[in-house]
């Protein structure tokens, strides 16, 4: 696995595309399952794809949390927030702060709650 110097965000299909677009406008490398034609993949396949892309998953889907806890599968980090807890703008602000303050090594195999 090659070493990345900054976090990349990969938003799964449950995340509002406006969050990804807002991150991009603020200079964050971000993409979505929609953009990458990955809609309909299982959570395991989404996680595998993100690992291949060296990207941290941003999700509202708490199934990722239990899947990772139960299987101990390798991942490039998972950032979770319940979709009703934060506004789109607040998600963008907090994600940008994480990207600016954490390295890929620091978030590797970790779960962060936004």
Domain 9-113, what fold?
A: Rossmann fold (3.40.50)
Which tokens go with 68? 């990772």
3 pLDDT exceeds 80? Answer: no
What's the confidence (pLDDT) of residue 4?
Answer: 55
pLDDT, mean over the chain: 92
Asked if residues 22 and 88 have their Cβ atoms less than 8 Å apart, the reply is: yes
Domain extents for the chain?
A: 9-113
Answer whether 27's CB lies under 8 Å from 7's CB.
Answer: no
Alpha-carbon distance 45 to 23, whole Å?
24
Average pLDDT of the segment spanning 81-96: 93
pTM over 0.75: yes
Confidence of residue 1 (pLDDT cuts 50, 70, 90): very low
SS3 3: coil
* Whole-number percent of the chain with pLDDT over 70: 96
pLDDT, tens digit, 9 for 90 and up, residues 42-72: 999 999 999 999 999 999 999 999 888 888 7
Q: What is the percentage of the chain residues whose pLDDT exceeds 90?
A: 81
């Amino acid at each position: 696995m090659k070493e990345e110097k900054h976090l990349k965000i990969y938003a799964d299909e449950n995340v509002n595309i406006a969050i990804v677009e807002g991150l991009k406008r603020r200079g964050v490398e971000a993409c979505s399952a929609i953009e990458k034609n990955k809609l309909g993949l299982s959570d395991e396949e989404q996680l595998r794809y993100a690992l291949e892309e060296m990207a941290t998953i941003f999700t509202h889907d708490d199934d990722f949390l239990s899947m990772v806890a139960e299987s101990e599968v390798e991942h490039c980090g998972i950032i979770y927030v319940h979709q009703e807890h934060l506004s789109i703008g607040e998600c963008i602000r907090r994600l940008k702060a994480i990207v600016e303050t954490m390295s890929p090594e620091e978030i590797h195999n970790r779960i962060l709650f936004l």
